[in-house]
Amino acid sequence: MPITEDPERLARVAGELGAAVREARPGVRVRLPVIQPADAAGLVMVLHAQLDEAIEERSREAAADGLHIACSAGCSSCCVSPLLVTEGEAVTVAEWLKLDANKAIRQQFFAAYPAWKRGIGDSAAALERARTDEERREAAMLFKRRAVMCAFNRDGLCTIYAPRPARCRRALALDTNAACGPDGDGVVKYFEHPRTEMTFEEQETMRAALHHALKPNGDLEMLCSAVQRLLGASISRNEPCPCGSGQKYKKCCAV
Ligand SMILES: [Zn+2]
């Protein structure tokens, strides 16, 4: 059971995590609870469901206001954007991919990963190193210009739509997707929806707490790299690489 659904268990885990976060104050080292990947994934799916409710309301309000939302199935313009995620979100995708029902998607990801990794080159490292907003913005634009499609995008559709990270859910372009893709300036016109923004921002605390509980002192990481690392942990280094290259895992995607 890689994703916990038991509401009582999830409530208990969320309570422990919340209590640890509330103790946080300058100079005090917070001791975060040990969280199992299945529980982390269950919690993140609850956060995603909350965010989706707000987003559905946003869509209804935008429609009622006569606004045209450019985002739709088949548009992958924002899937070339760099996607740094918290560890809880990456664990959620990895646990979901471990389900037997998603074996084909897991294999497609492994097969797509080496080209994605080659394509992004050193642009992910530059983004992870960026410290100021200006540095981050510049590194993100350079990343996007490479036009490397997310390794989870297949024929224009997201293969991990159900467990996709919060930032992918929140994305919304009004009128046009021209600013979203590799040639766009990234300044996307946005429909300001208070409940969606508040839900997203409030959830950031929980996502950050989960991140630090699962990966103490670790930086955010590209979704594809983090999921490859998490899934790869259960592959022996001498096994054939799941990407299908015919090489041993240690000589291929593990490095
Ligand atoms: Zn490989």
Q: Is the dihedral of CA 139, 174, 224, 54 positive or negative?
A: positive
DSSP letter, residue 243: T
Q: Using 50, 70 and 90 to split pLDDT, how confident is the model at 245? A: confident
Q: How much distance in Å is there from the Cα of 253 to the middle of ligand 1?
A: 4
Residue 137 has pLDDT above 80, yes or no: yes
Query: Each residue of 80-124: pLDDT tens digit?
Result: 999 999 999 999 999 999 999 999 999 999 999 999 999 999 998
In terms of Cα–Cα distance, which of 121, 108, 114 is closest to 147?
121
Distance (Å) from CA 112 to ligand 1 centroid: 9
pLDDT (0 to 100) of residue 24 = 76
Q: For the chain, what is the total number of helices (H) and then of strands (E)?
A: 9, 4
CA 216 to ligand 1 centroid distance, Å: 28
- Distance from CA of residue 186 to its chain's centroid? 19
The token pair at 93 is 């995708």
- How many whole angstroms from 179 Cα to the centroid of ligand 1? 34
241 Cα to the center of ligand 1, angstroms: 5
Q: Which residues contact 198 (CB under 8 A, 6 or more apart)?
A: 54
- pLDDT, tens digit (0-9, with 9 covering 90-100), for 143-193: 999 999 999 999 999 999 999 999 999 988 888 888 888 887 777 788 889
What's the pTM? 0.92
- Quote the ligand 1 centre to 155 CA distance (angstroms): 21
Going from the Cα of 39 to the center of ligand 1, the distance in angstroms, rounded, reads: 29
User: Stretch 219-223: mean pLDDT, rounded?
Assistant: 93
Q: Dump pLDDT digits (tens) for 44-58.
A: 999 999 999 999 999
Check residue 255 and give its pLDDT: 66
